[in-house]
Amino acid sequence: MKSDMFFFYQGFHPMFIVDYNSYNIVDINEKAKGLFNMDLSKDNKIEKLIPDINENIRNKIETDYILRNRFVFHSWFDIYLRRINLKNKDYIWIQLIDVSTYKIKEEEANYIAYHDTVTNLPNRRYVDHYVNGIFNNAMAENKNIGFMFIDLDNFKSINDKYGHMAGDQALKIVSNHIKRALRKGDLIARFGGDEFLVVLEDLPKTEIVNFVAERIIEELQRPIILKGKKMNITCSIGIGIFPKDGNDMESIINHADKAMYEAKKLGKNTYKKDY
């Protein structure tokens, strides 16, 4: 055990020895002192550092047990726990391994997977996960959800005339215009190309979707500057309502997509509803 205690005090990672019954910290190594600046005479409760420490832990630390990706003192740690016996008394040996670098990389990869690289808006994969949750809530609370499928009118001509970099810049500007027309908490996502999806939760009246669609069209009346030239970008909007127009995302999107094409036939720069 002497060699183990040398490892404890000289260890590279923050370590604690905690009373098995009271969860009071009875000792910390130099690394933990430097990280947490603790005065054990005043503050010796491990729960303040690691809220996950609880009665259930005792059933799991007969062998090494790991609490992964816990946020402690502005960093992410894997927390290793092991029951030990010193002088016939039981303790918990706790070691913190900083995994912040890996956690940040994981979050960055997750963000890239669920967001559009041009506009930084959520993408279709994000919407798929998001909608499943709000459908369940809406069904339980008997609420409506509005969907707006938005297609920019004649957007291909911008790419053809000014190039794709200019087209990407136009998409960023347009997405910001649409955001300004939305309510707090409404979701806007880019579905690819020049197509956007807006999701409106918690609709006391389905007519609210009409008002938001009108505000989007009004916002897009504001000209944008592209390649030093002033231009207007309009849109056509199709509307679908959950659960009236379908009880799953695919059916509602198809409904809104068809309504959007009807709006195109009406002369563009408008929205189409059928309720």
pLDDT at residue 240, as a whole number = 94
Band of pLDDT at residue 35, cut at 50, 70 and 90: confident
DSSP reduced 3-state for 228: coil
Tell how far CA 272 is from the center of its chain: 31
CA-to-CA distance for 120 and 108, rounded, in angstroms? 12
pLDDT(109) > 80: yes
Cα–Cα–Cα angle for 143, 148, 154, nearest 5°? 180
pLDDT at residue 245, as a whole number = 92
CA-to-CA distance for 155 and 152, rounded, in angstroms? 6
pLDDT at residue 56, as a whole number = 67
pLDDT at residue 10, as a whole number = 64
From the candidates 116, 151, 153, 194, give the one annotated as an active-site residue: 194
pLDDT tens for 211-230 read 999 999 999 998 888 888 88
pLDDT at residue 6, as a whole number = 53
pLDDT tens for 5-15 read 655 666 678 89
Dig out the tokens for 183 from the structure: 């309510």
Band of pLDDT at residue 2, cut at 50, 70 and 90: very low
CA-to-CA distance for 29 and 48, rounded, in angstroms? 18
The total of other beta-carbon atoms located within 10 Å of residue 205's CB is 9
The total of other beta-carbon atoms located within 10 Å of residue 204's CB is 8
39 in active site = no
Which sign does the torsion angle of CA 47, 51, 54, 58 carry?
negative
pLDDT tens for 113-138 read 999 999 999 999 999 989 888 988 88
pTM over the 0.95 mark = no
DSSP code string of 130-179 = HHHHHHHHHHHHT-EEEEEEEEETTTHHHHHHH-HHHHHHHHHHHHHHHH
Contact between 208 and 146 under an 8 Å Cβ cutoff? The reply is yes
pLDDT at residue 47, as a whole number = 78
Band of pLDDT at residue 3, cut at 50, 70 and 90: very low
Please give the radius of gyration of the chain, using alpha carbons only, rounded to the nearest integer: 28
What are the structural domains, with CATH classification, of the chain? 2-102 (3.30.450.20), 115-272 (3.30.70.270)
- Exposure string (b/e) for 170-192, b if CB count within 10 Å is 16 or more? bbebbbebbeebbeeebbbbbbe
pLDDT(58) > 80: no
Average confidence score pLDDT of the chain: 87
DSSP reduced 3-state for 22: coil
CA-to-CA distance for 159 and 256, rounded, in angstroms? 25
